[in-house]
Amino acid sequence: MPALHHLLSIESLDAGQIEDFLQLGMRLKAARQHSRNPLPLRGQTWALIFGKSSTRTRVSFEVGIQELGGTSLFLGMHDIQLGRGETVEDTAQVLSRYIHGVVIRTYAQADVETFARVGSIPVINALTDEEHPCQILADLMTWAECLAGSKRPIKKITRLFSGKTVVFFGDADCNVARSWLFAADKLGFNLRLAAPKDYRPNGALLNRARATRASFFDDPVKAAAGAHLLYTDTWVSMGKEKEENKRLRKLAPFQINNRVVQAAKPGALVMHCLPAYRGQEITADVFEKHAQTIFDQAENRLHLQKAVLNRLAK
In this structure, the chain runs to a length of 314
Interface pick for ligand NVA out of 237, 283, 293, 305 (rule CB under 6 A): 237
Relative to beta strand 269-272, strand 229-232 is parallel
Q: Is 105 labeled as catalytic in the residue annotation?
A: yes
Interface pick for ligand CP out of 23, 57, 158, 179 (rule CB under 6 A): 57
- 277 near ligand CP, judged by CB under 6 A: no
Adjacency order of strands within the sheet including 71-76 = 71-76, 45-50, 101-105, 123-125
Instruction: Give the CA distances from residue 237 to residues 21, 217, 301, in Å, rounded to whole numbers and listed in that order.
Output: 27, 21, 19
Torsion of the alpha carbons at 97, 99, 100 and 103, rounded to the nearest 10: -120
- Separation between Cα atoms, residue 215 and residue 191, nearest integer Å: 6
Torsion of the alpha carbons at 161, 172, 129 and 296, rounded to the nearest 10: -40
Interface pick for ligand NVA out of 213, 233, 301, 306 (rule CB under 6 A): 233
Question: CB-wise, 174 or 183, nearer to ligand NVA?
Answer: 174
Question: CB-wise, 92 or 251, nearer to ligand NVA?
Answer: 251
Instruction: Check: CB of residue 230 under 8 Å from CB of residue 264.
Output: yes
- Dmax (CA) for the chain in angstroms is 55
Q: Is 132 labeled as catalytic in the residue annotation?
A: yes
Q: Is 174 labeled as catalytic in the residue annotation?
A: no
- 54 near ligand CP, judged by CB under 6 A: yes
At 48, give phi and psi (nearest 5°).
-115, 115
Interface pick for ligand CP out of 273, 282, 286, 294 (rule CB under 6 A): 273
Q: Is 200 labeled as catalytic in the residue annotation?
A: no
Compute the least distance from the CB of residue 100 to ligand NVA, in Å: 26
| Of residues 134-173, those binding ligand NVA (CB under 6 A) | none
Of 6, 56, 132, 228, which one is the catalytic site residue? 132
Q: Which does 237 bind (CB under 5 to 8 A by kind): ligand NVA, ligand CP, none?
A: ligand NVA
Q: Is 17 labeled as catalytic in the residue annotation?
A: no
- 175 near ligand NVA, judged by CB under 6 A: yes
Q: Is 301 labeled as catalytic in the residue annotation?
A: yes
Interface pick for ligand CP out of 14, 55, 78, 244 (rule CB under 6 A): 55
Q: Which residues contact 273 (CB under 8 A, 6 or more apart)?
A: 132, 135, 139, 176, 233, 297
Question: How many residues sit close enough to ligand NVA to count as binding (CB under 6 A)?
Answer: 9
> Where does this chain bind ligand CP (CB under 6 A)?
54-57, 127, 135, 273-275
Give me the active site residues, please: 105, 132, 135, 233, 273, 301
